[in-house]
Amino acid sequence: MNKAFAIFVALIVAALAAVYLRGGISTWDPEKKGAEVKAAIAPGMSWSQVLDLDEPGKLQTTYKTKKKIAGEEIEVVEFGAVQNFDRAMFEREWKGKSFADGFAF
């Protein structure tokens, strides 16, 4: 029984190692990918061209509001709820000018 369990554990460890090394997890570097995408973005590109480089996973709409702080009215930028990115929805909202105050990926 102990030998069978040891073999089972060894197989699990081998499978996890294979996934880690062969599956691309060991070389996955989101900062590098982000830097490459940012470097490829150039002035004058359309949003469609930017999204063709790499689609973001999340989207947040920004809202500008005015608040009184210490008797002085200031403009504050707040973020809406985090949403899963959907390109069709983004393009529909972009054409409908729903991002009046901006958005963030």
Confidence band of 5 (pLDDT split at 50, 70, 90): confident
Q: What is the pLDDT of residues 25-80, one digit of tens each?
A: 666 777 888 888 888 888 998 888 888 888 888 889 888 988 888 888 999 888 88
Which token pair is 69? 């702080």
DSSP bridge pairs for 52: none
What per-residue confidence (pLDDT) applies to 84?
Answer: 92
| Rounded Cα gap, residues 34 and 53, in angstroms | 10
Cβ atoms 103, 78 nearer than 8 A: no
What per-residue confidence (pLDDT) applies to 3?
Answer: 86
Q: What is the mean pLDDT of residues 87-93?
A: 87
